[in-house]
């Protein structure tokens, strides 16, 4: 009981992983922006009212699934262009930390809308974004890595004192929810793989990397052609997914587990082309790296200050040397 009181006090008054969750917000915004930019040239074909997904089929799919999309409000090409470009601008604003939580909510609505308009080109990262962005709304994810932290702080000061007191516990609740969601993703995926015969006999990676949609020409064959790499890759993937939450629970292992997860998903993005999914998972992993990220930024700031100081000293030295020469010459002449 004596230990629970300080823990509760810390939970209610000290927001945790502020830098990490700010990085999560920025990277998730970048993933959305990347989606818009990568499809920009073909936007009419993919998402427009006269695109590859027929308008009637699109409306029928929304009705069948009981969902919505802003693109369904009108079959006008002008409306489509307006919604698409607002969505791209909202993703850009979230990436750079402009607009605060209202823009984050707008980004979620617009992202949901464009994903529903063309679900056939998604890679799974959309499902995680749907879950994580509402959790981010609870957090102080605009405190760092933001172009407008001062504006956010001014709006925060206008809130009643009672609401301001809830900021820290709500923030921590949001961070805990994201961490729990990531752990559930890993454990569920790992336990599902354990039940599969190909994962049990160590050959799953061989078959996955031979699927045309998930292969990298000239590289994938070097992996699935090596029995040792296939065996080690298959079993290490399962082991990592199942035991990742245990690494997160141990403070000393937490940064290493997060770094291993980032490496794991970067390799998925590189070898399998699931870039959106990989970067969304990496974004969520950043909440476990808030302290190392803070230390790295502090080190970079100190290094930049030293470099700037050294450059200023070098620029002043010729002036000082010239002044010393002039003084010496005047003394010699006077003598």
Range with the lowest mean pLDDT among 48-62, 252-266, 300-314?
A: 300-314
Quick one: how far is CA 214 from the chain centroid? 22
Per residue in 19-52, pLDDT (tens digit) is 999 999 999 999 999 999 999 999 999 999 998 9
Per-residue confidence band for 331, with pLDDT thresholds at 50, 70 and 90 = very low
pTM for the predicted model, two decimal places: 0.83
CA distances from 324 to 106, 321, 328, 332, 334 (A): 64, 5, 6, 12, 15
Per-residue confidence band for 114, with pLDDT thresholds at 50, 70 and 90 = very high
CA dist 261 and 26 (Å) reads 19
| Long-range own/partner contacts, residues 297-303 (CB < 8 A, 24 or more apart) | 297/19
Has residue 149 got a pLDDT over 70?
no
CA distances from 307 to 295, 300, 320 (A): 18, 10, 20
Per-residue confidence band for 16, with pLDDT thresholds at 50, 70 and 90 = confident
Mean pLDDT over each residue of the chain, to the nearest integer = 85
Tokens of 200: 């049990």
Give the per-residue pLDDT at 177: 93
Per residue in 156-202, pLDDT (tens digit) is 666 666 666 677 888 899 999 999 999 999 999 888 888 888 898 88
Tokens of 120: 């056939």
79 neighbors 144 (Cβ within 8 angstroms):
no
Q: What is the DSSP string of 125-137?
A: HHHHHHHHHHHHH
What count of Cα atoms within 13 Å lies in the side-chain half-sphere of residue 136? Answer: 35
Quick one: how far is CA 42 from the chain centroid? 25
Backbone angles phi, psi at 140, to 5 degrees: -95, 55
Give helix 77-96 / helix 100-117 axis angle, nearest 10°: 130
Backbone angles phi, psi at 333, to 5 degrees: -65, -40
H or E element: which one contains 228?
A: helix 227-249
Give the per-residue pLDDT at 22: 93
114 neighbors 84 (Cβ within 8 angstroms):
yes
Percent of the chain with pLDDT over 90: 40
Of 48, 73, 46, give the one whose Cα is nearest residue 59.
Answer: 73
């Amino acid at each position: 009981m004596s230990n629970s009181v300080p823990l509760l006090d810390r939970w209610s008054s000290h927001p945790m992983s502020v830098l990490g969750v700010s990085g999560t917000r920025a990277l998730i915004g970048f993933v959305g922006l990347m989606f818009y930019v990568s499809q920009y040239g073909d936007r009419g074909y993919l998402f427009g009212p006269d695109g590859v997904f027929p308008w009637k089929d699109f409306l029928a799919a929304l009705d069948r699934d009981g969902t919505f999309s802003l693109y369904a409000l009108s079959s006008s090409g002008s409306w489509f262009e307006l919604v698409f470009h607002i969505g791209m601008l909202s993703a850009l604003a979230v990436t750079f930390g402009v607009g605060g939580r209202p823009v984050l909510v707008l980004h979620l609505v617009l992202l949901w809308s464009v994903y529903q308009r063309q679900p056939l080109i998604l890679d799974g990262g959309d499902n995680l974004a749907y879950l994580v962005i509402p959790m981010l709304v609870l957090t102080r994810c605009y405190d760092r890595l933001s172009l407008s932290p001062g504006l956010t702080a001014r709006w925060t000061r206008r809130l009643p004192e009672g609401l301001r007191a809830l900021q820290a516990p709500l923030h921590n609740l949001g961070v805990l929810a994201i961490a729990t969601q990531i752990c559930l993703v890993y454990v569920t995926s790992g336990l599902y793989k354990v039940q599969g015969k190909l994962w049990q006999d160590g050959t799953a990676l061989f078959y996955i990397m031979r699927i045309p949609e998930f292969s990298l020409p000239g590289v994938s064959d070097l992996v699935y052609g090596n029995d040792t790499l296939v065996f080690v890759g298959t079993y290490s993937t399962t082991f990592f997914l199942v035991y990742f939450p245990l690494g997160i629970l141990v403070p000393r292992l937490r940064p290493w587990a997060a770094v291993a997860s980032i490496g794991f998903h970067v390799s998925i993005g590189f070898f399998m082309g699931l870039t959106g999914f990989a970067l969304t998972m990496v974004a969520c992993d950043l909440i476990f790296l808030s302290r190392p990220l803070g230390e790295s930024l502090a080190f970079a700031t100190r290094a930049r200050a030293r470099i700037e100081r050294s450059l200023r000293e070098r620029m002043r030295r010729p002036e000082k040397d010239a002044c010393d020469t002039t003084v010496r010459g005047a003394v010699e002449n006077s003598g």
